[in-house]
């Protein structure tokens, strides 16, 4: 029996999390009520943790269908993950399957509508992706930012540079680790992936995944790329940090015909158009989350590469220890931190 109310974490700001009693919503036409079992922490939770939130955060959720609304076809008990964007399915972008660029988006789960840190989450059936009973819920969260966002960034780069032979990454957090793993899966294990960061523990994980670490306290990204056997620079540079200085450093580490992919939201990019873009024929592209239709392929990749991808899940906490999980994550814990319930 589904309860009528639930106690959920309220992000009150200034790193305070309070108990909040919220109704458990009943699914309407086209909606599913999800019993959340795992939710991965993300760097974008920081703003809500520091400044508070009017909704329950959490946008990397996995769970089972507890109740279904009229007009749905997903059976109760189906396990799956929640796609961040409640896309309309009818606009020009959605008709082209570009669901991450929906022109009439209804919500961003965990940002404008209650998300996955609560026990129950109400979603549109269209942004719930079934996964099958063989996959643990914590592992299933890897389908979202760790695999989805990073795989999409690599795909965006390949649209401009189809002959990718090397990658350099700013930031060895969960996205940086995800890029190393996804590059090995998508591009092959022989393609070097150089990753720069200041946190030693994160660089250890990157190396364990097959990446080539660069301590940014001792050298620049460009120096690191050269020291790892790429004297002409990398083919693709990916910014996960959202820092202006990191983007400039990536441009300096990029070779001719290279592509800079900006994944991390944040600061500006200052460049000299003639020197940095025109003469070397480089491109700068943005990459926002990923498309819903990328999930089936990534599910197969996850099943085939559980050992590699599973190393990115480094810490698990019960939902009752969410404050400790957030503190560990924002203190620079390597890999992905997950809360379970």
Residue 175: how many other CB atoms lie within 10 Å: 25
Q: How confident is the model at residue 317 (pLDDT cuts 50, 70, 90)?
A: very high
Assess whether the region 5-133+311-340 and the region 146-286 belong to the same CATH fold: no
Angle of the 174-186 helix axis to the 200-208 helix axis, nearest 10: 20
Task: For the full predicted model, state whether its pTM sits above 0.95.
Answer: yes
Architecture of domain 146-286: 3-Layer(aba) Sandwich (3.40)
Dig out the tokens for 81 from the structure: 């993950």
Cβ proximity of 82 and 128 under 8 Å: yes
Statement: 5-133+311-340 belongs to CATH 3.90.180.10: yes
Taking only the tens place, the pLDDT of each residue in 32-67 is 999 999 999 999 999 999 999 999 999 999 999 999
- Determine contact, residues 243/267, Cβ cutoff 8 Å: yes
Taking only the tens place, the pLDDT of each residue in 320-335 is: 999 999 999 999 999 9
User: Residue with structure tokens 């401009």?
Assistant: 160
- Is there a contact between 339 and 321 (Cβ–Cβ < 8 Å)? yes
Residue 282: closest CA among 257, 304, 301: 257
Q: What's the sign of the alpha-carbon dihedral 26, 29, 33, 39?
A: negative
């Amino acid at each position: 029996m589904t309860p009528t109310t639930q106690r959920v974490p309220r992000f009150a700001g200034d790193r305070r999390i309070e108990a909040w009693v919220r109704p458990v919503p009943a699914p309407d036409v086209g909606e599913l009520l999800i019993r959340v079992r795992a939710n991965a922490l993300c760097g974008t939770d920081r703003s809500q943790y520091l400044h508070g939130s009017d909704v329950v955060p959490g946008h990397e959720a996995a769970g089972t269908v507890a109740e279904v609304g009229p007009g749905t076809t997903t059976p109760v008990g189906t396990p799956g993950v929640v796609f961040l964007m409640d896309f309309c399915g009818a606009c020009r972008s959605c008709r082209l399957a570009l669901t991450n660029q929906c022109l009439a988006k209804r919500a961003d789960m965990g940002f404008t509508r209650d998300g996955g840190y609560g026990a129950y989450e109400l979603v549109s059936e269209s942004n719930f992706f079934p996964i099958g009973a063989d996959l643990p819920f914590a592992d299933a969260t890897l389908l979202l930012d760790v695999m989805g966002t990073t795989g999409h960034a690599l795909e965006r780069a390949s649209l401009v540079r189809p002959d990718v032979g090397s990658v350099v990454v700013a930031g060895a957090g969960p996205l940086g680790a995800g890029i190393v793993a996804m590059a090995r899966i998508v591009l092959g294990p022989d393609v070097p992936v150089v990753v720069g960061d200041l946190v030693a523990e994160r660089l250890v994980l990157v190396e364990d995944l097959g990446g080539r670490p660069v301590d940014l306290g001792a050298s620049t990204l460009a120096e690191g790329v050269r020291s790892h056997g790429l004297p002409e620079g990398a083919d693709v540079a990916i910014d996960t940090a959202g820092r202006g200085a990191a983007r400039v450093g990536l441009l300096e580490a990029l070779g001719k015909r290279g592509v800079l992919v900006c994944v991390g939201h944040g600061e500006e990019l200052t460049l000299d158009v003639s020197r940095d873009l025109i003469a070397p024929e480089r491109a700068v592209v943005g990459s926002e989350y990923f498309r819903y239709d990328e999930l089936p392929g990534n599910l197969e990749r996850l099943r085939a590469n559980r050992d590699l991808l599973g190393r990115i899940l480094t810490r698990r906490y019960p939902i009752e220890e969410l404050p400790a999980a957030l503190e560990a994550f924002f203190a620079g814990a390597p890999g992905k931190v997950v809360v379970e319930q």
